[in-house]
């Protein structure tokens, strides 16, 4: 029956009342939820795999949320981590993100915003994990190994350029708006679309034979950007 859920969430929260409220909210929205009541249990369950997201309180017994983030990333566990805590100061936010958290929300929160962030993080993680190989012209892309070559020579992409390329490939053949790219690749809800234009220009410069007249990463008037490639599963 789990396959019919929108996603599998591990909830690391030691407050029984809050854990119950969150669990009911998530279940009612179609998520499958498991709970960890302390940091040690959270690490053990998350390491076991099978979760699409970890909702993590920082003030957990036995092992705090900072240690949970650090240990999971050290073990190579890439489950998205959304910190949900009453600590609102910038130092805690920065430390959480530095140690491996992907997003940070403070309590109290609006349920609608929490659900929107969960949905976006799970969706983003699924396309980022997309595998396969692709080719266009003399370009070869191996997503499993995060390797890009042109004329058999390595092409050095920044982390954000690679994420942008992955998303374009996931939606290949479709025109994608700048606002969608900002939301899905950068996680921004409002920002200058110039950010997208600059990164697309960098990809074209590195991949296209004639960046000013791109053959593969094309602009669709009044719609956004589209990539035209062939993929092999």
Q: How far apart are CA 222 and CA 178, in angstroms?
A: 10
Give pLDDT tens digits for 135-148. Answer: 888 899 988 778 89
Specify whether the CB–CB gap between 4 and 48 falls below 8 A: no
Structural domains in the chain, sorted by start:
2-128 (3.40.50.2300), 133-232 (1.10.10.10)
For 90, the enclosing helix (H) or strand (E) is helix 90-99
Give pLDDT tens digits for 46-71. Answer: 999 889 999 999 999 999 999 999 99
Give pLDDT tens digits for 177-218. Answer: 998 898 888 877 666 778 899 999 999 999 999 999 999 999
Decide: pTM greater than 0.75.
no
Give buried/exposed letters for 21-47 (b at 16+ CB in 10 A, else e): ebbeebeeeebbbebbbbbbbbbebbe
Specify whether the CB–CB gap between 143 and 169 falls below 8 A: yes
């Amino acid at each position: 029956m789990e396959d019919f859920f929108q996603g599998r969430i591990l909830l690391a929260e030691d407050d029984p009342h809050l854990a119950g409220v969150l669990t009911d909210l998530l279940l009612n929205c179609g998520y499958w939820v498991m709970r960890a009541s302390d940091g040690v249990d959270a690490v053990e369950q998350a390491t076991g795999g099978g979760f699409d997201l970890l909702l993590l309180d920082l003030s957990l017994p036995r092992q705090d949320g900072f240690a949970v983030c650090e240990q999971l990333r050290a073990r190579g566990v890439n489950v998205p981590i959304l910190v949900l805590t009453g600590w609102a100061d910038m130092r805690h936010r920065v430390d959480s993100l530095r140690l491996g958290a992907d997003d940070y929300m403070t309590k109290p929160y609006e349920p609608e915003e929490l659900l929107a962030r969960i949905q976006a993080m799970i969706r983003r993680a699924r396309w980022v994990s997309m595998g396969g190989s692709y080719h266009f012209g003399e370009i070869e892309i191996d997503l499993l190994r995060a390797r890009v070559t042109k004329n058999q020579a390595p092409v050095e992409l920044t982390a954000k350029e690679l994420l942008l390329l992955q998303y374009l490939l996931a939606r290949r053949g479709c025109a994608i708006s700048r606002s969608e790219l900002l939301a899905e690749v950068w996680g921004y809800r409002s920002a200058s679309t110039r950010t997208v234009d600059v990164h697309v220009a960098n990809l074209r410069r590195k991949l296209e034979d004639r960046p000013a007249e791109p053959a593969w990463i094309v602009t669709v008037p009044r719609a956004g950007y589209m990539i035209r490639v062939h993929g092999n599963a």
